Structure formats: structure tokens, C-alpha cells
Amino acid sequence: MNDIDPTSASDSGVSADERQWGMFSHLSIILASLITALVGLPGCLAFLGPLIIWLAKKETMPFVADQAKEALNFSIMLTIVAVVLMVIAIPFGILTLGLGFILFGLIGLVIGIAALIMIIMASMKANEGVRYRYPFNLRLVK
């Protein structure tokens, strides 16, 4: 039987509770994206999950605040990229009689898969107590 306290600190000095909330802050991007896609706003509100976690935990859990802020900045960047792609794709798609929509759809798919991989990597690192930094991120929220 294991008598380890679930809230005890890991080798990194971050408690299990903080590691779990740090992981949730990254995974909430995926959850918020799925929920907003179901209501017809694909990914536009993906920043809500990390924002809520950051606002709720920033005073009490420094590791969670750091990871939620990183996830928040990443989700804001993804939203900006999606909007820019859509703004460019619509006129380009019309001018090319639909071929532009296919091209920008493929670009969006590649970006989405890359983002999903990075979010999963960030979640795993946060669960290990490691402060993860996305390789491509605008740090708008400081």
C-alpha cells in the first residue's frame, strides 16, 4: 500500500495539485475549442479555459498561474492565426474559384495538428512539474 500524500511536492518542488491544475490549463484549450466548435464558433473562445484557471489560481498557485498564462497566450495566438487565415482565405478562395479554400484549409489543418501536439506535450510536462514554454508563442499576457 502506498502512503504518499497526493498533495506532496514532486522532485520539481511542485505539488501534485499544482501539477494537475497546470495540466488542466493546457488541456482546457482543447476542451474550450471543442465546445465552441459545437456552437458554431470553431476555436474562437479557446482562451476561456486557461483564462478561468489563471484568474482562479493566480494568487494561490504560482506554478499554475505560470502555466495557465502560457496556455492563455498560446490560445490567443491560435485565435489570431485562425482569424488571419480566414480573412486571407475568403477573398483568395473566391478569386481562385475555390482552390484557395482547399489550400488554406490544408494550412489550417497542419497548424491545428501541430497545436494539438504541442498542447499534449505541454500538458505532459506540466503534469511532471516542468514549466513548459510553447516554441511559437506571443506572450501578450504578462
Render each residue's pLDDT in the chain as its tens digit; 142 residues: 444 444 555 566 889 999 999 999 999 999 988 888 788 776 678 888 999 999 999 999 999 999 999 999 999 998 898 888 888 988 988 888 888 889 988 998 999 899 999 999 999 999 999 999 999 888 888 8
Per the document, the length of the chain is: 142
Q: What are phi and psi of 54, to 5 degrees?
A: -60, -45
Contacts of 15 (CB under 8 A, 6+ apart): 7, 8, 9
Tell me the C-alpha distance between 71 and 36, whole Å: 17
Beta-bridge partners for 15: 9
Tell me the C-alpha distance between 129 and 18, whole Å: 8
> Where do the structural domains in the chain lie, given as residue ranges?
16-54+61-125
Taking the CA atoms of 105, 109, 112 and 114 in sequence, report the sign of the dihedral they define: negative
Tell me the C-alpha distance between 36 and 23, whole Å: 20
